[in-house]
Chain A
């Protein structure tokens, strides 16, 4: 084509716009949890295949992020938090976001199948389907339980990593799944507490919008209590151990304390300090998950050097 076809009026998307279509911050968490799932799994995996597997699991997560941005462009443009995303800001057309998402899905699932096995690839395909269709298209706009069930999408990566390395699902993989699954609701509800206006303006039935902030605070405490046995219980599987156990106890107590503070707080006080405690709990929850998975890595490195407590009870 000649230069006459260059559009001078509209924005020219640059490469970074397409990168942010894949939600790089979510991807970094996926890279980490999937890599841990893959490393702590039994059996040894070729380093190139392991790297490729993690890369394509992350790309699959990016693909679902892109599909989410295509589908949610209307509500993203209303919410302050998401207005700058490439589709609502007009950098990338919704149609292109959809195409990027679909092709990346096909590529990531196909390549994961070739690099590891087709069970892992099928699980990744299901994860993308769950996030893009079940969560984004269906649950997000219809029920305040949206993030509770939708959290499963974020919980799959370590399990996909595990299956990529070992070829099958086991208690430990389900344990890691449950840890993220139970962690998601208090994490997002803490965010929703200080994002309320955004969600209500966009008409998303977050718990804060449908049942109010009081109820959300109760829910955060309840779910944090429910999370604790899953978090600590992982210590007594083959991937856990004393380091993980001690860390999970400390982190769980801190998380419970934070959740309890949110539970006790009056809305008036929260508004006065601009949701300081809520922001703290939200940030801490990220730190919590990151450290627990790091502890799993530490336990795995002990095992690889055959350092272990003989008397450590392995219940599951």
Chain B
């Protein structure tokens, strides 16, 4: 294999990997949106007590 051919293959590999990473970012974002719309907890405990997060029995 010549250097030129190797460079071509690597370029293709890198762009495929790039596409997959972009697709992954979009997917994670979509999952986030879907979970939020499904009513997932949007607030969590910080370093202090958060009375508004506690279940009222």
A residues whose Cβ falls under 8 Å from a Cβ of B = 3, 6-8, 11-15, 46, 48-49, 52, 55, 114-115
Contact = CB atoms under 8 A, between A and B. Distances in A.
B1 A8 contact: yes
Nearest to A52: B31
Size band of the interface chain B makes with A: 20 to 34
A194 B2 CA distance: 41
A222 to B, nearest CB: 45
Contacts of A114: 31
Q: Say whether chain B's binding surface is mostly helix, strand, loop, or mixed.
A: helix
A240 B39 CA distance: 32
Contacts of A7: 6
B6 A48 contact: no
A230 to B, nearest CB: 35
Nearest to B14: A15
A8 B2 CA distance: 6
B7 A49 contact: no
Given A12-B1, A12-B6, A46-B34, 10 more contacts: A6-B3, A11-B1, A12-B5, A14-B13, A15-B13, A15-B17, A48-B31, A48-B33, A52-B31, A55-B27
25 contacts: A6-B3, A6-B7, A8-B2, A12-B5, A12-B6, A12-B9, A12-B10, A13-B13, A14-B9, A14-B12, A14-B13, A15-B12, A15-B13, A46-B34, A46-B37, A46-B38, A48-B30, A48-B33, A49-B31, A49-B34, A49-B35, A52-B27, A55-B27, A114-B31, A115-B31
B10 to A, nearest CB: 7
B21 interface: no
Interface of B: 1-3, 5-7, 9-10, 12-13, 16-17, 27, 30-31, 33-35, 37-38
B38 to A, nearest CB: 6
From A3, A12, A52, A55, name the one whose CB has the most chain B CB atoms within 10 angstroms: A12
A103 to B, nearest CB: 13
Contact of B16 (A11, A12, A15, A49): A15
Contacts of A12: 1, 5-6, 9-10
Contacts of B33: 48
A186 B5 CA distance: 46
B3 A8 contact: yes
A272 B37 CA distance: 63
Nearest to A50: B34
B3 A3 contact: yes
Contacts of A3: 3
A17 B34 CA distance: 34
A48 B9 contact: no
Contacts of B5: 12
